[in-house]
Structure 1
Amino acid sequence: MTTTPALSVTTPSEREIRMTRIFDAPRALVFEAMHRPELLKRWLSGPPGWSLAECEADFRVGGAFRHLWHGPDGAEMGMGGVFREIAAPERIVRTEIFDQDWTGGEALATLVLSERAGKTELAVTVLYSSREARDGALASGMKDGVAASYANLDTLLAGTKRAA
């Protein structure tokens, strides 16, 4: 039997969602997996049946990123934004907006990585334009997609640690 770390999802304010999870890998490896397109394509799939088909990133402050997922029955979901802050290997702040803007405008996502005893705590806080946008994101199945992607990331990180 395999036990996977739990994804914690909380709402610290009327407009925010905070997701936290522990990874059994050093912070530097997790940080690389969070921004390198060739690594993102290997784990950021979302729920079963979806895959990250296109991933581009100009990883610098002011640089843009673009993700396009393909899903069942020809479904597509695209998202892009701009990197606002990068402090390797601990913090990335970026804007996010979906092509089908179901969240009511641009959101601001802050990723913070903290390492303790070779394990990394990942915390992502997303600030939405309104409480309704936040609640819509919560109702979208986002938690299941993030949990599935993070399970993929566990597998990727385990392979990377063995290869190192």
Structure 2
Amino acid sequence: MNIAETTIEADPKVPVIRLRREFNARPEQLFRAHTDPKLFARWVGPDRMDNRIEEWDARPGGSWRYVATRDGQEYAFRGCFHDVRPDRIVQTFTFEGQPDGVALETLCFDDLGGGRTLLRAQSLVDSFEARDAWLASGMEVGVDQGYAKLDGMLADGTV
């Protein structure tokens, strides 16, 4: 099995994190995985985390909230959808443990042909310190493990 690699980069001039990853999936499958709350809860985040969707309205102006749990600890995340269309999602993202840290996220699903899609994601935060704290938090583990779960769901036809 070919394990896809996620590229995570920090922009040196703007407090942005950029992520790129290819999937063996059509763009509409990735869009569905990011907008269907039941699917999203199954793959997002690190292994051994259980996700509970509390609110999910994937449309422009809609909001979302989910709680991730592990070993009795809860971590809540929330945001608002600003643009939701088959090739692009724009949303805010806040970890409720740091409620002043709001990121503006843009996800683009680029059709590469042949049943492959490039996911390009960008998270804009309000300072370089906040960006660097995200990078130091171990976010790449959650990203890599979450996308590995999504790969499995794509491969077995769940998505």
- Would the TM-score normalized by the shorter structure come out above 0.5? yes
Give the one of 77, 80, 83 matched to 1:82. Answer: 80
Aligned to 1:151: 148
Aligned to 2:7: 8
1:93-151 alpha-carbon deviations (Å, 9 max, x no partner): 0011111117x421100000001122010011000111000000000000011100000
Aligned to 2:27: 27
Give the one of 121, 135, 140 matched to 1:124. Answer: 121
Q: Name the SS for the 1:160 alignment partner.
A: coil
Counterparts of residues 25-104 of structure 1 (less than 5 Å) = 25-44=25-44, 46-71=45-70, 73-87=71-85, 89-101=86-98, 104=100
Relative to its length, the structure with more helix (as a share) is: 1
| Structure 2 gaps, min length 5 | none
Q: TM-score, normalised by structure 2?
A: 0.92
1:14-58 alpha-carbon deviations (Å, 9 max, x no partner): 3100111100011111110011101112211x2232121235311
Measure, in 2, the Cα distance between the counterparts of 1:92 and 1:108. 11
Please say if 1:114 is aligned against 2:113: no
Q: TM-score, normalised by structure 1?
A: 0.90
One-letter amino acid of the counterpart of residue 74, structure 2: E
Please tell me whether the aligned partners of residues 24 and 117 of structure 2 are also in contact (alpha carbons under 8 angstroms).
yes
| Structure 1 gaps, min length 5 | none
Give the 4+ runs in structure 1 shifted more than 6 A. none
Measure, in 2, the Cα distance between the counterparts of 1:133 and 1:7. 21
State the Cα RMSD in Å: 1.6
Aligned length: 157
